[in-house]
């Protein structure tokens, strides 16, 4: 009896703490979203009230869509993120396969070389990256961003994927070899399908930092036609500081795509983190 | 097939490795060393000249430069300290609560608390700027509701509070990461260890402090080094909330914003790639020291606790 009561007391306390923290985590997002649908007067008079028939207004969204080219920004972010992820997964899996499958000389050394980038942030090399992109004419192109994010994502991808590839059964690969499959076919047809869960983990880990990055778009691709959504909203909001409707709507529009991605991939992301892939 | 003694180059290995190694070397490793190298050069009469350690002498010796550098470094250290003292304990506490058996809705809490982590710094920076703004009045309004209105300050506008406020905003955003990693570590503790503890009468809080905490120390070590590296090359949040000048009066300037201003230029000051590289080199050394301390000091000692 006594223990039961104590347990339920602990449970209530646990829920109370978690609910409190959930409110702290979600409150700012909630405030931004509800106010983006209100007219200017209601934003200031009653910041915490939900939009109702009287205060509902889409004026902010109209300004945003008229002034900023948010569809272009969105498209740029999409291209950069998708192409970078594709290259990280393809190149990363190929290198991981080479390291996991073949005992060539310098294998360990190559593994260590590729792992260097896990701990050293690529931003340290920004000055030389910028000079390189300027001299190759890649500055203000999406290619520059894709190259940088691919290089940034590869070390962790190789590390995680080669751990998984070591677990693929040798019998399967040797059976393929006896059937006369080339090493390339063994990789693409037999091994890649088996490590798909690990590839998904790598993809989800890389997706959010690439989508959200401000530093490289700001430095390598600040031109209007190659702005990403993150940089685009930063610049837009900077210009419209006093137009609260526009700022709130721009923020909401920047939140939306990430939230959709999160809803789709959250199970994968959380499973990836909790499965210890980062260790 | 995989015998290393086979003669000749096995070209498929080269083909498998080449794309990753090339991109990684050309866009990451080469620029890293090129940047370190640039810090020993300077521009004299539009020519790039070798000047040895001159740039470092300027950075540490020149009154204007060194004052900015130490200010940024001290701010960065404070930024890191707040993360270690606030973010990680909260993350561990939340993970400990979430991992308690038979807790309902734990998947919901986990996903909800992780949401700020997926947002970009631009969103987070502006959202908090609006909420803390004295013009809008959400923060003073909320404090008023609990009778603490006198505590309200325009935190982001005051030199003495701005850095701490931004650190806490960053903590708010990133609590999800330590929470998830510690949660995973707590779940991986074998039940028999906890049951053995229960037989000896160690339950509840005591079980956490005496059994679980020592066992998750390696994860806490990983989180600490991840936080360290992330904090010492942070930039986005400060830039989004306070701009490149990291105001008020450089009180929120950290190494990332200092480097950005120096090499990229701002307002009337021209960018200087060589001094920018010098600051990048200093950041590289700081991060390297942190990583080495972790790898050779902390991690090795923590290994002893693992099963």
Q: What is this model's ipTM?
A: 0.86
Chain B residues whose CB is inside 8 A of the A116 CB are 29
User: What three-state secondary structure class fits B50?
Assistant: strand
Say how far apart CA B54 and CA B38 lie, in whole Å: 12
All residues of chain B having their beta carbon less than 8 Å from the beta carbon of residue A26 are 112, 115
CA distance B16 to A98: 6
The 3-state secondary structure of A36-67, one letter per residue: HCECHHHHHHCCCCCCCCCCECCHHHHHHHHH
Min mean pLDDT across A12-16, A47-51, B111-115 is at A47-51
Q: Do A95 and B121 touch (CB under 8 A)?
A: no
- Distance separating alpha carbons of residues B11 and B24, to the nearest angstrom: 20
Residue A143, SS3?
helix
Please write the tens of the pLDDT for every residue from B26-52: 999 999 999 999 999 988 877 888 888
pLDDT band at residue B306 using 50, 70 and 90 as cut-offs: very low
Mutate to test the interface with A, among B5, B22, B87, B123 (most CBs of A within 10 A): B123
pLDDT value of position A266:
76
pLDDT of B304 strictly over 60? no
Burial class (CB in 10 A: 0-12, 13-18, 19+), B101: exposed
Q: Cβ of A22 and B239 within 8 Å?
A: no
Question: Among B28, B116, B291, whose Cβ lies nearest the Cβ of A25?
Answer: B116
Q: Is the pLDDT of residue B267 over 80?
A: no
**Contact across the interface for B137 and A155, Cβ inside 8 Å:** no
Whether residue B149 contacts residue B140, with contact meaning beta carbons closer than 8 Å, is answered with yes
Summarize the confidence of residues A135-145 as an average pLDDT.
95
Residue B209 has phi, psi (to 5 degrees) of: -70, -40
**pLDDT value at B307 more than 50:** no
pLDDT > 90? residue B2: no
d(CA A143, CA B31): 17
pLDDT in tens, A59-80: 888 888 888 788 899 999 999 9
Contact assignment for A128 to B31 by CB distance below 8 Å? yes
Count the Cβ atoms, other than its own, within 10 Å of residue A60: 27
CB atoms within 10 A of CB A111: 17
Q: What percent of chain B has pLDDT over 90?
A: 41
Give the CA dihedral B143, B146, B150, B151, nearest 10 degrees.
-60
**Taking CB atoms and an 8 Å limit, are B1 and A177 in contact across chains?**
yes
Which of A268, A199, A252, A270 lies closest to A60, judged by CA?
A252
**Using CA atoms, how far apart are residues B131 and A32, in angstroms rounded to an integer?**
9
**pLDDT value of residue A126:** 93
The confidence score (pLDDT) of residue B301 equals: 67
Rounded-to-integer distance, Cα B202 and Cα B195, Å = 9
* Nearest residue to A254 (alpha-carbon basis) of A74, A37, A101: A74
- Mean pLDDT (whole number) for A123-138: 94
Could you tell me which residues come within 8 angstroms of residue B226 by beta carbon, excluding any fewer than 6 positions away? B177
- The pLDDT of residue A6 is 57
Residue in B closest to A248 by C-alpha: B127
- Report whether A237 contacts B122 (CB < 8 A): yes
Q: How confident is the model at residue A222 (pLDDT cuts 50, 70, 90)?
A: very high
Establish whether the linkage from the previous residue to B273 is cis, with ω within 30° of 0: no
Asked if pLDDT for residue B4 goes beyond 60, the answer is no
Give me the pLDDT at residue A279, please.
42
* pLDDT given for residue B23 in this prediction: 96
Is residue A200 within 8 A of residue A272, CB to CB? The reply is yes
Residue A88 in contact with residue A156, Cβ under 8 Å?
no
Residue A4 has pLDDT above 60, yes or no: no
pLDDT confidence of A278, banded at 50, 70, 90? very low
Average pLDDT over residues B7-13: 81
Query: Chain A partners of B136 at a C-beta cutoff of 8 Å?
Result: 43-44, 47, 244
Indicate the pLDDT class of residue B248, thresholds 50, 70 and 90: confident
In contact, A122 and A151? CB cutoff 8 Å: yes
- CB of A241 less than 8 A from some CB of B: no
pLDDT score at A95: 96
Chain A, window 65-124: residues with a beta carbon less than 8 angstroms from a chain B beta carbon: 87, 90-92, 94-95, 97-99, 101-105, 110, 113-114, 116-117, 119-124
Question: Which of A28, A132, A273 is the closest to B181 by Cβ?
Answer: A273
What pairing do the DSSP bridges indicate for beta strands B47-50 and B41-44? antiparallel
Name the range with the highest mean pLDDT among A145-159, B5-19, B172-186: A145-159
pLDDT of residue B253: 93
Two tokens at A245? Answer: 């409707």
User: Structurally, what CATH architecture does the domain formed by A68-274 represent?
Assistant: Orthogonal Bundle (1.10)
Kindly determine whether residue A25 and residue B113, on different chains, have CB atoms separated by under 8 Å.
yes
- The CA R_g of chain A, rounded to the nearest whole Å, is 24
pLDDT tens for each residue of A88-129: 999 999 999 999 999 888 899 999 999 888 888 999 999 999
Q: Given an 8 Å threshold on Cβ–Cβ distance, is B273 in contact with A183?
A: no
User: What is the phi/psi pair of residue B219, to 5°?
Assistant: -65, -40
What share of chain B in percent tops pLDDT 70?
94
For the stretch A156-196, pLDDT in tens is: 999 989 988 888 888 889 999 999 999 999 999 999 988 88
Show me where the domains of chain A are located: 1-57, 68-274
d(CA A136, CA B30): 15
CA distance B237 to B125: 6
pTM across the whole model: 0.88
**Measured distance CA(B3)–CA(A274) in Å, rounded:** 36
Instruction: Measure the CA–CA gap between B269 and B290, rounded to whole angstroms.
Output: 32
Give the least confident one: A115-129, A202-216, B155-169, B187-201: B187-201
Minimal C-alpha gap between A234 and chain B (Å): 6
pLDDT tens for each residue of A228-274: 999 998 888 888 877 888 888 888 888 888 888 888 877 777 777 66
Average pLDDT over all residues of chain B = 87
pLDDT band, very low/low/confident/very high, at A207 (cuts 50, 70, 90): confident
The encoded tokens of residue A44 equal 């200031």
Mean pLDDT of B201-217: 84
Q: Least CB-CB distance to A128: which of B35, B119, B239?
A: B35
Task: Compare CB distances from A270 to B27, B110, B284 and report the shortest one's residue.
Answer: B110
Min mean pLDDT across A67-81, A129-143, B256-270 is at B256-270
Tell me the CA distances in angstroms from B259 to A115, A237, B14, B54, B277, one per residue in order: 26, 24, 38, 18, 8
Instruction: Please give the structure tokens belonging to residue B21.
Output: 């190694």
* In the predicted structure, residue B222 carries a pLDDT above the cut 90: no
pLDDT band (50, 70, 90) for residue B284? very high
Choose among B291, B274, B277: nearest CA to A120.
Answer: B291
The DSSP result for A149-181, as a single string, is HHHHHHHHHHHHHHHHHTTS-HHHHHHHHHTT-
Helices (H), chain A: 2-36, 40-45, 59-67, 70-101, 107-119, 126-135, 142-165, 170-178, 183-185, 192-194, 196-212, 215-220, 229-239, 244-274
């Amino acid at each position: 009896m006594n223990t039961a009561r104590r347990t339920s007391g602990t449970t209530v306390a646990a829920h109370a703490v978690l609910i409190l923290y959930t409110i702290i985590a979600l409150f700012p997002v909630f405030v931004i979203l509800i106010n983006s649908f209100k007219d200017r007067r209601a934003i200031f008079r009653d910041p915490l009230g939900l939009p109702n028939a009287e205060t509902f207004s889409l004026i902010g969204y109209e300004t945003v869509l008229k002034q900023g080219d948010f569809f272009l920004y969105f498209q740029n972010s999409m291209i950069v993120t998708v192409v970078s992820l594709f290259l990280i997964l393809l190149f990363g899996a190929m290198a991981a396969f080479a390291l996991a499958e073949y005992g060539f000389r310098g294998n360990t050394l190559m593994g260590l070389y590729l792992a260097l980038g896990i701990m050293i942030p690529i931003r340290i090399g920004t000055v030389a990256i910028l000079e390189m992109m300027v001299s190759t004419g890649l500055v203000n192109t999406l290619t520059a961003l894709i190259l940088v994010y691919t290089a940034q994502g590869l070390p962790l991808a190789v590390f995680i994927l080669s751990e998984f590839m070591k677990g693929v059964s040798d019998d399967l690969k040797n059976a393929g070899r006896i059937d006369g499959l080339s090493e390339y076919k063994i990789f693409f047809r037999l091994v890649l399908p088996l490590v798909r869960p690990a590839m998904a983990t790598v993809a989800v880990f890389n997706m959010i930092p690439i989508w959200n990055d401000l530093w490289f778009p700001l430095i390598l691709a600040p031109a209007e036609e190659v702005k990403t959504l993150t940089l685009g909203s930063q610049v837009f909001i900077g210009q419209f500081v006093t137009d609260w409707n526009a700022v709130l709507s721009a923020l909401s529009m920047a939140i939306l795509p990430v939230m959709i991605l999160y809803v789709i991939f959250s199970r994968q992301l959380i499973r990836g983190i909790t499965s210890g892939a980062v260790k | 097939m995989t015998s290393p003694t086979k003669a000749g180059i096995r070209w498929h290995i080269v083909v498998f490795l080449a794309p990753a190694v090339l991109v990684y070397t050309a866009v990451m490793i080469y620029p890293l060393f090129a940047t370190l190298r640039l810090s020993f050069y300077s521009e004299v009469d539009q020519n790039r000249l070798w000047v040895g350690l001159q740039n470092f002498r300027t950075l540490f010796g020149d009154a204007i430069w060194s004052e900015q550098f130490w200010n940024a470094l001290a701010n960065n250290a404070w930024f890191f300290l707040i993360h270690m003292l606030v973010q990680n304990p909260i993350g561990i506490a939340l993970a400990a609560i979430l991992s308690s058996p038979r807790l309902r809705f734990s998947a919901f809490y986990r996903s909800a608390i992780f949401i700020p982590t997926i947002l970009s710094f631009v969103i987070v920076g502006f959202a908090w700027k609006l909420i803390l703004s004295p013009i809008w009045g959400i923060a003073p309004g909320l404090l008023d509701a609990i009778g603490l209105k006198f505590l309200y300050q325009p935190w982001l506008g005051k030199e003495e509070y701005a850095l701490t406020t931004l650190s806490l905003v960053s903590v708010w955003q990133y609590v999800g990461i330590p929470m998830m990693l510690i949660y995973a570590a707590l779940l991986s503790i074998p039940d028999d260890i906890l049951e053995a503890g229960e037989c000896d009468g160690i339950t509840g809080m005591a079980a956490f402090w005496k059994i679980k905490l020592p066992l998750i120390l390696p994860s806490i070590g990983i989180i600490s080094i991840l936080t360290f590296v992330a904090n010492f090359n942070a930039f986005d949040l400060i830039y989004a909330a306070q701009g490149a000048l990291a105001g008020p009066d450089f009180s929120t300037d950290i190494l990332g914003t200092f480097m950005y201003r120096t090499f990229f230029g701002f307002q009337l000051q021209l960018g200087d790639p060589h001094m920018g590289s010098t600051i990048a080199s200093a950041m590289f050394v700081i991060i390297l020291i942190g990583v080495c301390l972790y790898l050779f000091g902390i991690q090795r000692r923590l290994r002893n606790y693992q099963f």
